[in-house]
């Protein structure tokens, strides 16, 4: 699960698209599903959002 820092904390950091994409690429290289939280939508845009679920999770809800 990848998300960005939320809230009003002074000095909070903001996610950069290249950071998020790097994490997603590393996870995929190891066969790990990637789920980007909705708070990344303004940073990543619709076309780059990934919301995969583990196979075990999708089997359970079916």
Q: Is 58 helix (H, G, I), strand (E, B) or coil?
A: helix
Position 41 scores a pLDDT of 95
Strand partners of residue 51? 35
Measured between alpha carbons, how far is 58 from 51 in angstroms, rounded to an integer?
12
Q: What residue segments make up the domains of the chain, in order of their start?
A: 17-61
Please, what's the largest Cα pairwise distance for the chain?
Answer: 43
- Locus of tokens 């809230």: 7
Query: What would the pLDDT profile of 4-59 be if each residue is shown by its tens digit?
Result: 877 788 877 888 999 999 999 999 999 999 999 999 999 999 999 999 988 877 66
The answer to whether the CB of 10 falls within 8 A of the CB of 4 is: no
Position 27 scores a pLDDT of 97
Position 61 scores a pLDDT of 63
């Amino acid at each position: 699960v990848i998300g960005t820092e939320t809230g009003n904390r002074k000095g909070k950091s903001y996610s950069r698209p290249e950071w998020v994409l790097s994490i997603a690429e590393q996870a995929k290289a190891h066969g790990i599903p990637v789920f980007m939280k909705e708070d990344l939508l303004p940073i990543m845009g619709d076309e780059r959002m990934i919301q995969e679920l583990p196979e075990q999770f999708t089997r359970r809800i079916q």
